[in-house]
Structure 1
Amino acid sequence: MDVDIWAWVGETQQQLSEAGNVGLAMALGDLPAQAYEGRYPQLDVMAPAIAQQAETLELPWLEFYARYWHLIGRIGDRAQGAVAIDDARQLLAFAQREDVRECPAAPAAVEALAIVLGNADGPGHAAERLEVLAAAIEDVSPERPAYTGLVTQYVAALIDAGRPGEAVSYTDSAVERVRAAGREASWELGAERARALLAVGRADDALAALQAAAEFQADDPVAKEHRDGVRRALILATLDRTAEAVDALPDLDVVGEHPRVFVEWSRAVAKLAGSSQITNTWQLGRVLRQWIDYFGMMGGYRSRVELALIAGDLALDRHGVWQAGLLADVAESGAGELQEAGDVAERVAGLRAAAEATTEPEAPGELSERVGLFDAADGFNADPEKWVGWLWPLSGQDLEATRRHTTTLGFLGYPAVGADIYWKMLVDTGDIATAEADDLGYLTTLLIEARQDERLEQMAALLPHAAQYIALARLHTMRERWQEAVEAAEHAVAAGGGVDARRLVAGAAQHLDQNARAAEVLVEVLDELGDEDVWRMIVMATSAEDWETVRKGAAKIGMPLKSSEGPIDEEMGLIRVILPAPDGGQRQVLSIRTGPATARLALPQPRGMDYNAGDLVVFDPQLLEPMPEDPKEQQNFVPPFAAVRILRPGGYTSYFFDGAAPSEEDWAEFTEVMAERGWPMWVYSDENYAVTHPTSGESLPGVFGWVAVPPDVSPSEVDALLDDATERWVHPLAWLDLAREIDVEIERHERIVKEYGL
């Protein structure tokens, strides 16, 4: 996005804050960080909310800003393809509206469309990308930051179009135009130049180009390090500089959260897999299979095919013949979704031919001994890929072998194959109605993982009543169809479905905010529940304020309570409650635990928050951090728990104060006065906060924070108390917002703010 927009963003934040939209203002500035840092759960909530509010407030630039960053969060590092194309086209149409086209960032909509088309099928959409980018580049001068992003995508499209030599020349001229305009190229543009050089066979020059690009700032600074490492490793591997390539290659736990580099990282690994420094294992094969499925869901058609072919070659290096054959099928089916298949058919044929020529690993023992050998194998060191091949001759015929074979297939990422085998054995033979519960569970899981919903419904129709509705409830739960899940699970409970059916009812009912029913269905079988189920019941009963059930649960897990009836409100020590922040992040609020799953917030929160000191919250009693092992650390450990909901608001109102810090004696007296009144107060400034002496200009230690008061305290009372408590301080304290609210001494507080630079 064009940096010219940032001044406008700052002004908009100020306007929103002054209008009382503090949360929206805070969230607005954080959207780019959410997109770049991978805070997608926050981004996916906040960006649409901001866009909706912007539409309501008739602020089209703000709406474009929010929609753009939400889209970038999807198509950038997450590399969404076809699933996001319509949204990208709609954003471009929005950017071309008369009231938006003058926005400095509007050209970024063209860049976004080019990115998403490249994600879906780079070569197949190359012509369209070049066309829309060329038109946009003509209208943007090199002085504007938007220019660099557009030409970077133009270079990428040239490479995908099979014109890498032209891409090199174009990049060189674009860089010169940017420099002539007094600016530097971005890291992304330099990295694309390196990719173009690699594509024309100039690997040494590609490495030099990437090294030169390291000096440039990145549009996405968070991703620069791992993206640079992946590309560097691929170039070095091409140059047969194996040791250096391995050193440059980011670890799997680094790239595993960044789909944008999945294909390039896999190519580098494939080149290095023959070395002793890169281990080609079944774990790698399983990860690549997960990545293939990811691109299948996201519409990354080209990436799905490329990964399938790379994974197939790597599988053959492990003598995974069965896996290579299935991956060839994936690549072949994926080719039908490409705009331009190119040489995919030839590569698939080559993979199949190589699989036929590869010898499978020698099986241990006789066929009749395989199941026993599987069970006796070391679960840590056993190779599940090999066991799939070794059990295959028995699968579909021997039930014990089928169970192990199909579930292992599912574990490795091939649930549809496992489901087919189980289906033929249980459904096609008519044995499904009398199948054991474990087999029904295994087949249900495989069908759900394979997203074969219609097939699962077909199977369920053949089952006895309880089993039928448990299967359907599991399906609805996995698809987050909560009402359908409750209804199906209730049928299963009525038919004698046992604790499993009750868990399904409780889980779905909780999502529908039917906590009373969720707790009730579990307490009816309390004696059959384990601790985990009991804690879940306690949380749901607490949300429903069913204190009798909470007490039953507490007794079951051995948690003593002082009271025997009514609401539970006991002091059980300090905890940290983790709550959502307006910017989509999280806030830790020191709180007093009052029950098995309740706490009262102890710290005042800024205006505009959805919670404040005095609020009673329900929390999930599962610790978010492990208890320290060191006894001394345990003494100071304040356990953190995730908030579930606000049970009862305390009605407290917060007021902001700011100014020069008083003496220790004055501050102690001030805090004592607040404590005597029962008004929670918290200092949010740190030791680095300073204000300016109004006459000498010297720096003074500063202090700012919030004080919260209960609903029966008027703003005038707060003003009077603050006045009395601070009147003898050497430097005055300001509470401008409160003064404006009650229209008292506004000028005095404005003067303090101005003179002390607050």
Structure 2
Amino acid sequence: MDVDIWAWVGDTQRQLHEAGNTGLAMAIGSVPAQALEGRYGQLDVLAPAIAQEAEKLELPWLEFYARYWHLIGRIGNRAQGVVALDDARTLVEFARREDVRDCPAAPGAVEALVIAQANTDGAGHAAERLEALAAAEVEPGSLAFAALSEQYVAALVDDGRAVEAVAHAEAAVERLGSAGREASWELGAASVRALLAAGRPQDALTALDAATGFKPDDPVAKAHREGVLRALVLATLGREAEAVQALPDLDVVGDHPRVWVEWSRAVLLLAGSAQITNTWQLGRVLKQWIDYFAVMGAYRSRIELALVAGDLAVARQGVWQARMLADLAESAAAELKDPSAVADRIAALRAAADAVTPLPAPGPQDELVGYFDAADGFNADPERWVGWLAPLSGRDLEATRRHTTTIGFLGYPARGADIYWDMLVESGDIQTADEQDVSFITGLLVEARQDERLEQMAERLPAAQRHLALARLHRARERWEQAATEGEAAVAAGAGIEARRLWASAVQQLDDNAKGARILREILDSEEIEAEDVWRMITMATAAEDWETVRAGAAKIGMPLKSTEGPIEEEMGLVRIVLPAPDGSQRAVVSVRTGPATARLAMPQPPGLEYNAGDLVVFDPALLEPVPESPEEQESFIPPFAAVGMLRPGGYTSWFFDGAAPTEAEWTEFNEVMAERGWPMWVYSDEDYTVTHPSTGEPLPGVFGWIAIPPNVTPVELDAVLDDATERWTHPLAWLDLAREVGVEAERHERITREYGL
């Protein structure tokens, strides 16, 4: 994006704030950070909401801004492919509108489209990407130039024109220099990849070293992206020890799909070294990544990763897995524009798998189930056991149970489902099958997303198992009405506590807390019920204000309560209630716990939030953080809980104050005045906050915060109390918004704000 757009963003924030739209003003500033820092849960909610609001306010640049950053958050680190293509094409069309095309950020739409195409099938879309980028005609003076040049280099590499890609990267860097600009780190990295593709790894390392100091467009990702690329270059050069040292750990790259293929290639090159362990755990993770790319429609990455994972499986003698990965790659290749481009590599993987001799089983075939059960669960290799049990699976029920669940655990539930299907469903034995086997095959079918198959199987099951299987399917797909219906039917047919839990959970999702609590209350005295069930019942009963059920649950878990009837309103200590903020982040609000699952917020909140001091909220009693082990830390620990919903709003209104900090005695007296009236006050400034002395210009310790007043107190009364409490302070305190609201001395507060630089 061009620098002008950021000035425009700042102006837009100020205008929105002045117009009273504080929540939106706060939100738009946080969207880029959410996209780059990986706060996708927030981004996926906030960015579309901003775009929708911008459309209502007829602010097309703001709408483009929100849509662009949301898309970058999807196609950048998350590497979405086909699932993002239509949105990328729509954004390009939007950028061509007369009221948008002059936006300095408009070239970003082309960037987003070619990234989505590269994620989908880089080689297949290479020509189209090059054409779109060439048509953009962005000059080096624009901050978009480096990003579009980076994408042009990548498209040339995908098109098999690595030498041209190197030349283009060098020319782009030179043009930037002539314009007084420096290349981005990402453009430098694209040049490194081009040099690797051109067979010049030593030059690639030199280029990577030179690019290290370049400013990144995505500073959050630079460290791990550079580490992965450096490891790949060094591994290509055969400098294994240095490559291993540069390679980020799995737990670092696990949340960054964009680097998975490159990281896996580096691991494959290093798999023969003593420092890199090629294990079944690695194979399982790679299969999870492959499945992720399938969901995202990242076809080329899925195939590349399957082939790398297959080579690694061959190296550890995982013959069955290598063959399945070859099958997967062949199937996925049908989605490419040119499936033949990977045919030779798939054939090579099959040949390599066929040439491997699997490790021998630990004992005779008819004793393998016993060996499996006796194996050390911590050190056993499930990948090998899948191969050893395969000849028995589908014929011997005990072997089938172990084989199919293990292969499902390793990421191949469809294969496990196929075996069970042939053994139980096709044979007709499913009607009399053990509940355990029905549960196993249901889980495999759900995980393999074979919904139609599961529904076909359910038709052949007895009523209780049929309804429970369908309820599990609907729950997995978040179809809550159907899940509740099937869960209820399963309970009626005698399916047991799992069905009841599922039913209660589904109706809770449908906001029928009273019914959910009743469902679990019916088995409160059962030996099957667990503490987690009781807490869920308490939470739902609290939301429904069914205090009798709350008390019954509290008695069940041994939680003493003072009152015996009516609403529970007791002081049970301080808690932190975690609530959503307008920018998509979360706020931990210190509160007073008033019941097993209720708390009253104690901290005043800024206007624009949906909650404030005095509000009574329902929370999930599951701790969000463990209690510290040391007694010293326990003394200051305030347990955090996630808010579930509002029970009763307190109706409080918050007012902002700001100014130079008073003396300790003045501040103590001020706090006492607020406390006597029961008006919550919270200081949000820290010890580093300063204001400016109006006469000397020297910094003074400052203080700002919020005071909340209940609905029976008027702003006029608060203004009078503040005026009286602070009139003898050395430096005045300002409450500008309140003064404007009541129409009293607004000019004085404006002057204080101006003179003290508040």
TM-score by length of 2: 0.99
Q: Does 1:110 align with 2:81?
A: no
1:542 alignment counterpart: 542
1:396 alignment counterpart: 394
Match of 1:478 among 476, 479, 485: 476
Shift of 1:632: 2.1
8 Å Cα contact 1:120-1:302 kept in structure 2: yes
Shift of 1:2: 2.3
- Distance in structure 1 (CA, Å) of the matches to 2:309 and 2:126: 25
8 Å Cα contact 1:2-1:108 kept in structure 2: no
1:270 alignment counterpart: 268
8 Å Cα contact 1:655-1:735 kept in structure 2: yes
Q: Which amino acid aligns with 2:235?
A: A
1:645 alignment counterpart: 645
2:719 alignment counterpart: 719
1:657 alignment counterpart: 657
Match of 1:192 among 184, 190, 193: 190
- Distance in structure 2 (CA, Å) of the matches to 1:18 and 1:467: 60
Q: Does 1:567 align with 2:567?
A: yes
2:602 alignment counterpart: 602
- Distance in structure 2 (CA, Å) of the matches to 1:156 and 1:541: 57
- Distance in structure 1 (CA, Å) of the matches to 2:627 and 2:757: 43
| CA offsets 1:321-363 (integer angstroms, 9 cap, x no match) | 0001100000000111001234411111111111111001110
- Distance in structure 2 (CA, Å) of the matches to 1:569 and 1:26: 35
What's the secondary structure of 2:227's corresponding residue?
helix
Q: Does 1:84 align with 2:101?
A: no
Shift of 1:495: 1.4
What's the secondary structure of 2:305's corresponding residue?
helix
Shift of 1:18: 1.2
2:244 alignment counterpart: 246
- Distance in structure 1 (CA, Å) of the matches to 2:465 and 2:15: 58
1:451 alignment counterpart: 449
1:676 alignment counterpart: 676
8 Å Cα contact 1:218-1:224 kept in structure 2: yes
What's the secondary structure of 2:731's corresponding residue?
coil
Q: Does 1:26 align with 2:31?
A: no
- Distance in structure 2 (CA, Å) of the matches to 1:664 and 1:634: 29
| CA offsets 1:17-64 (integer angstroms, 9 cap, x no match) | 111111111110000000000000000000000000000001000000
Q: Does 1:741 align with 2:727?
A: no
| CA offsets 1:452-488 (integer angstroms, 9 cap, x no match) | 0000000011111111111111101000111111111
Q: Which amino acid aligns with 1:226?
A: H
1:309 alignment counterpart: 307
What's the secondary structure of 1:728's corresponding residue?
coil
- Distance in structure 1 (CA, Å) of the matches to 2:463 and 2:538: 30
Query: RMSD in angstroms over aligned alpha carbons?
Result: 0.7
Show structure 1 runs of 5+ residues with no match: none
8 Å Cα contact 1:734-1:753 kept in structure 2: yes
Match of 1:386 among 384, 389, 404: 384
Q: Which amino acid aligns with 1:73?
A: G
Matches within 5 A, 1:94-105: 94-105=94-105
2:615 alignment counterpart: 615
2:131 alignment counterpart: 131
Match of 2:423 among 414, 422, 425: 425
Match of 2:368 among 367, 370, 377: 370
Q: Which amino acid aligns with 2:54?
A: A
- Distance in structure 1 (CA, Å) of the matches to 2:249 and 2:419: 36
Q: Which amino acid aligns with 1:103?
A: C
Moved more, 343-352 or 455-464: 343-352
1:340 alignment counterpart: 338
- Distance in structure 2 (CA, Å) of the matches to 1:360 and 1:383: 13
Shift of 1:3: 2.6
- Distance in structure 1 (CA, Å) of the matches to 2:624 and 2:406: 31
8 Å Cα contact 1:578-1:640 kept in structure 2: yes
- Distance in structure 1 (CA, Å) of the matches to 2:145 and 2:198: 25
Q: Which amino acid aligns with 2:198?
A: V
Runs of 4+, deviation exceeding 6 Å? none
8 Å Cα contact 1:659-1:756 kept in structure 2: yes
Q: Which amino acid aligns with 2:543?
A: S
Q: Which amino acid aligns with 2:208?
A: L
| CA offsets 1:122-174 (integer angstroms, 9 cap, x no match) | 000000000000000x2x21011011111110000000000010011111111
Moved more, 627-636 or 407-416: 627-636
What's the secondary structure of 1:364's corresponding residue?
coil
| CA offsets 1:196-233 (integer angstroms, 9 cap, x no match) | 01111110000010111111001111000100010100
Q: Does 1:16 align with 2:23?
A: no
8 Å Cα contact 1:133-1:150 kept in structure 2: yes
Match of 2:320 among 298, 322, 330: 322
Matches within 5 A, 1:287-302: 287-302=285-300
2:591 alignment counterpart: 591
Q: Which amino acid aligns with 1:643?
A: A
1:166 alignment counterpart: 164
- Distance in structure 1 (CA, Å) of the matches to 2:744 and 2:38: 46
1:728 alignment counterpart: 728
1:707 alignment counterpart: 707
| CA offsets 1:566-598 (integer angstroms, 9 cap, x no match) | 111110001111111111111111110000010
- Distance in structure 2 (CA, Å) of the matches to 1:247 and 1:582: 41
Q: Which amino acid aligns with 1:450?
A: A
1:260 alignment counterpart: 258
Q: Which amino acid aligns with 2:267?
A: V
- Distance in structure 2 (CA, Å) of the matches to 1:398 and 1:687: 71
- Distance in structure 1 (CA, Å) of the matches to 2:522 and 2:725: 56
| CA offsets 1:413-450 (integer angstroms, 9 cap, x no match) | 00000000000111011111111111111100000000
What's the secondary structure of 1:634's corresponding residue?
helix
Q: Does 1:4 align with 2:4?
A: yes
| CA offsets 1:163-197 (integer angstroms, 9 cap, x no match) | 01001111111111111111100000000001101
- Distance in structure 2 (CA, Å) of the matches to 1:397 and 1:77: 45
What's the secondary structure of 1:355's corresponding residue?
helix
- Distance in structure 2 (CA, Å) of the matches to 1:449 and 1:644: 28
2:58 alignment counterpart: 58
8 Å Cα contact 1:576-1:591 kept in structure 2: yes
- Distance in structure 2 (CA, Å) of the matches to 1:344 and 1:107: 33
| CA offsets 1:232-287 (integer angstroms, 9 cap, x no match) | 00000000000000000000000000000000000000000011110000000000
Match of 1:466 among 464, 475, 494: 464
What's the secondary structure of 1:4's corresponding residue?
helix
Q: Which amino acid aligns with 1:233?
A: A
Moved more, 73-82 or 601-610: 601-610
Match of 1:156 among 150, 154, 157: 154
8 Å Cα contact 1:657-1:733 kept in structure 2: yes
2:519 alignment counterpart: 521
Paired-residue identity, %: 73
Q: Which amino acid aligns with 1:122?
A: G
Q: Which amino acid aligns with 1:177?
A: R
Q: Does 1:555 align with 2:577?
A: no
Equivalences, count: 756
- Distance in structure 1 (CA, Å) of the matches to 2:20 and 2:458: 54
Q: Which amino acid aligns with 1:614?
A: G
8 Å Cα contact 1:592-1:600 kept in structure 2: yes
Q: Which amino acid aligns with 2:103?
A: C
What's the secondary structure of 1:578's corresponding residue?
strand
- Distance in structure 1 (CA, Å) of the matches to 2:246 and 2:503: 50
Matches within 5 A, 1:500-515: 500-515=498-513
Q: Which amino acid aligns with 1:337?
A: E
2:41 alignment counterpart: 41
- Distance in structure 2 (CA, Å) of the matches to 1:191 and 1:732: 55
- Distance in structure 2 (CA, Å) of the matches to 1:513 and 1:723: 46
- Distance in structure 2 (CA, Å) of the matches to 1:639 and 1:511: 25
1:202 alignment counterpart: 200
